[in-house]
Amino acid sequence: MRKVVYLGVVILLLVSCKAQQKLVSVNKDTNEIVLKKGQSCEIEFITNASTGFWWQLVNESDINIVKSAGDRYTSDAPAGIVGASSHRFWKFDAVQKGSQTLHFVYARDNIEQAARTRDITITVK
């Protein structure tokens, strides 16, 4: 009986390890990401939403090789500190082969007056 339980635990561990995806990060020198279909990537931005500026993905409707898997914020600053930077992360899942560029802007509501821009090329093989 112990052998059966042990074998079951080993099989569950192997299946759960295979199901976990390696998260790929942006090459900071080239602003490129290369993924295999089914992999995920995460893009990080330093932001300061208390100034009214935030990073926005402006061409999301044109992108079809990756699918947004959500975004999140983190901050090391104590609560209530105005002007402290934070980190915004976008996660994408590779769904189709090809190459496209994600266009991000750091702006208030009017993206035409962006303070900064960042283009990240994603290739899915």
* Residues 57, 104 contacting (CB under 8 angstroms): yes
Q: Is the pLDDT of residue 122 over 80?
A: yes
Of the options 3.10.105.10, 3.30.390.30, 2.60.40.2020, 3.40.640.10, the CATH number for the domain spanning 22-124: 2.60.40.2020
Residues 33-57: tens digit of each pLDDT: 999 999 999 999 988 877 888 889 9
Which value, to the nearest 10 degrees, does the dihedral of the CA atoms of residues 107, 55, 100, 33 take? 140
In what helix (H) or strand (E) does residue 120 lie, and over which residues does it extend?
A: strand 116-124
- Model pTM score: 0.74
Query: How many other CB atoms sit within 10 Å of the CB of residue 98?
Result: 14
Residues 5-23: tens digit of each pLDDT: 343 433 443 333 344 456 7
Residues 54-80: tens digit of each pLDDT: 889 999 999 999 999 999 988 877 777
- The residue ranking higher by pLDDT, 76 or 98, is 98
Domain spans of the chain, in order of start: 22-124
Q: Is the pLDDT of residue 86 over 50?
A: yes
